[in-house]
Structure 1
């Protein structure tokens, strides 16, 4: 774990990147922005807002943390010598972004060999920033700064569950999600990274997804775990590299969902 001076420097750098990403993205939100398709077999859009935000964040790192490594969705991996790596998703939820819905976000995290140490989930349009790690767990938004804490829900039949796409992943993964969702009180869809922020804030209780990349989950893991939640893959193992992800507010709730998902 970095010492206290290094923790302050890392946190300040993360916030500087989030500010730079906001400045790059907001002028382009809800405009006639053209998107390109990164997946010829389906639809995986990318826009100049995605690319511009990652360039802006990398510029901050070049100035403040030139020895750190970087993994970004749009520009890939850059090596470093410090033992720290920044994991960046300039717009998590580009489909939401091009649809004008404010459920996308900027994901920023820093990790060492043991996993994510600190993360930010930033929603520039509504002005909310969720952070977790280094002893901090808080959200700053229109109502000021408030602590983050997961809900105390411990039973599936009292839980609200979220995922981004109703189909979730493969047919088997989708059925696994539905088996959990049928046991829950309420299921909602389409939140992208904002779902994880809502879990950390105590408004929802479960997020179940599949087919994720490291840059989709590193920041949410840091934020949720700092708020008292649990994040693993569907086998109960670390989910740092993405794949199938189960995020839960409590250990009991996690165990009940895991009992269903681990059979998929």
Structure 2
């Protein structure tokens, strides 16, 4: 009862979410032509921008509407909000198992590319940007919904690791669709890769990025629209199925060990100095 009463007191936050969601859906998907392809602007992008603008820490004028109380309450509610995504993974993976099997070894092997964030991003985060434990959350994955759930369960989203994964999640949502649409258009137009390989590459575990990527590919190669959508969908589904386990049992432990063996020594030295 107290929890219900507490949520009623946050009516400003819930009303803002409803209004922002409605406006974003009314705007709908917008297409910006780019050469032979196109960049797709999705409702999720508009929602993020509007929510960021309403943050009183960024725009103080909105402090009259969204108070610090609502800002602090919004963070833990993210975990609740992504639970339907996690449940959806389980309901879609089972019925589509035959599609995944029929996709063959190429589709399975390309999932190993999800570990590429460790090779590329971890050194840059730790030695280039001098990040602390935020680097663990930021670089163990591409930071989509399942990865948020892993960090939220392991560290909580209020931790340094939670800050890292949320930062990449937000940046990925804001700019990921642009980058994927542009890259898909360029690679498809240049004929550097087989369109089927590009279609599989679209499925990285993000619905918005997959939509932008496949949208750009089908604009360039309309004759293969059905095949592109099928392969991208199977790849995205497989990433949801394997990405959660790969992130939990492979990527996260590897990044933790790498961090503790390198930058973690600085953390320990800093803590000892403070104690002294």
The TM tier, using the shorter chain, reads 0.3 to 0.5
Q: Which structure has more strand as a fraction of its residues? A: 1
Q: Which structure has more helix as a fraction of its residues? A: 2
Q: RCO greater where, 1 or 2, for CA within 8 Å and sep 6 or more?
A: 2
**What is the TM-score of this pair, normalised by structure 1?**
0.33
**What is the TM-score of this pair, normalised by structure 2?**
0.32
Larger radius of gyration: 2
